[in-house]
Structure 1
């Protein structure tokens, strides 16, 4: 049985409205070994969705961000007919601090690639969704951002400086090829805003599988492009973080890659 997007949307919405929004800026935070923040909301959402998805689609296992790495690796190794990939609260630092930019991200992986993706922003009541080969949608309406036809020099970029090579970060700060930049702190939702044309170019130094699984499909189905910094495709097959270079349309992507390629090439 292939999951139905129309049936999954209300599941994400209800979960967010009952588990996330009542605790916004009130949840107790703790820290993982890597220094990132986690709250009880992350676990509550993951547990609730894992149970609901297992009841509806027992043939699929679920890989969640808040599982231990050994369990995650085992699930990737035996993905079977499909594997859910869940980030129960992407943008946890924003959520804990009271910044209204966070989401639930859910993807279905088959053969090392996402075939279904949903990302729900409960603050704006926006649900982005995509199905491989069938398109992308925002609240049920076709999503076709295309970046407004702007050249890169007039565009708005989303750049995560923290994980970039210092030399590249310094050049982008001092001599950017775009008009202005932002960074909002929820990787999954940033993919969606790029797909919607709310900004035009994207650069991230290291995203995890659950950060990009749903968002990369939404962007691709909306007509955008993405690779890693070294030009490799972004595949949902490993837990190792990947860099992301992306743009809202092929023309912008070509300009963005042309700027970055000589600055990120490995010396021979």
Structure 2
């Protein structure tokens, strides 16, 4: 069986839609929930989606392993290795807290990683029936229609910003609202969908203090292919990096390069400085 390519994006979209229809939506607002060791939530839906997609991907593309959020740390590190292999990176339910509380912001995020970078991506928003897809070097799409970021002006004050407050140092939050900042602030609570909404023009600026590989692998590829300008950082914003890692990354992005440069300057990295 050939390795997956851009020609398989429709197949992946259908697979995610079928899984959401069978595993996610029937349990919405009634899934059993428990806390993980790090305090984040996991539901029976997360586990069911991961099991279903691992089986389906393994049947169609045997030999390509799946690195899923709900695996153990040891399993994830073994699958990641030195980052040079080929594997699927899966967040079976991105936005679990939203899902558990009934807030309409969650989805499935799936990326194919090969030789240290994301090559294919599919992110499904089952409530809106929007499936975002991208292949490296081939543009980004939602439901097969091309997408691109949108900027209503060149000033930060013209823009909506998606900012995740919870993962920022508390002492740095007030300064984000000083004069010269964004027009208004949002936080969707699903990293994959935040990348996709930035890619499709629903806001223009993005700041998130701690994303894991399965959070951003698919969504960031979609955003980059749409034309978003983005950087991931280690060390609280000191070190730009695209190296594959299970460590959390700070993410900064904007709809275009002009806004990105102004946004980075306004934020003032590193965040712990």
Query: What range describes the TM-score normalised by the shorter chain of this pair?
Result: over 0.9
TM-score relative to the length of structure 1 = 0.94
Q: What is the CA–CA distance in structure 2 between the aligned matches of 1:157 and 1:231, rounded to whole Å?
A: 23
Partner residue, 2:229: 225
Which residue, 209, 212, 217 being the options, matches 2:213? 209
Partner residue, 1:239: 246
C-alpha displacement at 1:147, in angstroms? 2.7
Partner residue, 1:264: 270
C-alpha displacement at 1:2, in angstroms? 3.3
Q: What is the CA–CA distance in structure 2 between the aligned matches of 1:230 and 1:80, rounded to whole Å?
A: 25
Q: Secondary structure at the match of 1:147?
A: coil
Q: Secondary structure at the match of 1:30?
A: strand
Q: What is the CA–CA distance in structure 1 between the aligned matches of 2:104 and 2:271, rounded to whole Å?
A: 37
Structure 1 unpaired stretches of 5+: none
Between Structure 1 and Structure 2, how many residues are aligned? 265
Which stretch of the first structure deviates more once superposed, 191-200 or 141-150?
A: 141-150
Which stretch of the first structure deviates more once superposed, 12-21 or 147-156?
A: 147-156
TM-score relative to the length of structure 2 = 0.92
Q: What is the CA–CA distance in structure 2 between the aligned matches of 1:112 and 1:183, rounded to whole Å?
A: 29
Distance 1:85-1:266 versus aligned 2 partners, 3 A rule: same
CA offset digits 1:182-230 (Å, max 9, x no partner): 1111011100000011001000010111000001100100000111233
Does structure 2 retain, via aligned residues, the 8 Å contact 1:219–1:248? Answer: no
C-alpha displacement at 1:56, in angstroms? 0.5
RMSD across aligned positions (CA)? 1.6
Partner residue, 1:126: 130
Structure 2 unpaired stretches of 5+: none
Does structure 1 retain, via aligned residues, the 8 Å contact 2:85–2:116? Answer: no
Instruction: Find runs of 4+ consecutive structure 1 residues off by over 6 angstroms.
Output: none
